[in-house]
Amino acid sequence: MKIAIAGDHAGFELKEVLAKALTAAGHDVQNLGTHDGSQPSDYPDFALSVGEAVSRGDVTRGILVCGSGVGVSVAANKIPGVRAALCHDTYSAHQGVEHDDMNVLCLGARIIGESLAKELVAAFVGASFSTEERHARRLGKVRSIEERYTAGRDR
């Protein structure tokens, strides 16, 4: 799977660990930064780079890491076509894909450790959107909301 990953200075170390684990698992990983965890950086910049890669279809999924995971989640969800969620349990990480077609996983480096983060990423990339009618119907409603508020705007 082609995956974009990024994080701010607070998420740098965990992002690097996850990028290596994903590459070792055979995924095509695009590391979109930060590339220097010693310098302060702003999470919206990284949410934008991953979100745009997902929205354009350059990658199948995205992973964002900041201190809490909240900031990157909020910022990424502003991008049309992005369905980002903060997950700190494996059920949500796979169920978000299966039921809601989540395409960006957000993690809080100050909240979870490496082992759990690796489990969450494995659950996220291992899941597929369900074709059940109820999930497709609900996703259609989500897309309608997005279209309502983005109509006439440039992507």
Instruction: Count, in order, helices (H) and strands (E) of the chain.
Output: 6, 5
66 included as an active-site residue: yes
- Catalytic residue (choose from 27, 66, 94, 106): 66
**Beta-carbon count within 10 A of 85 CB:** 20
Return the amino acid letter for 18: L
Chain-centroid distance of CA 40 in Å reads 21
Verify whether residue 87 is a known catalytic residue: no
Could you tell me the two tokens for 23?
Answer: 């590459």
The two tokens of residue 98 are: 């299966």
Residue among 85, 72, 24 nearest 45 (CA): 72
Please state, in angstroms and rounded to a whole number, the distance separating the CA atoms of residues 7 and 120.
Answer: 16
Catalytic residue among 35, 87, 88, 99: 99
Q: List active site positions.
A: 66, 99
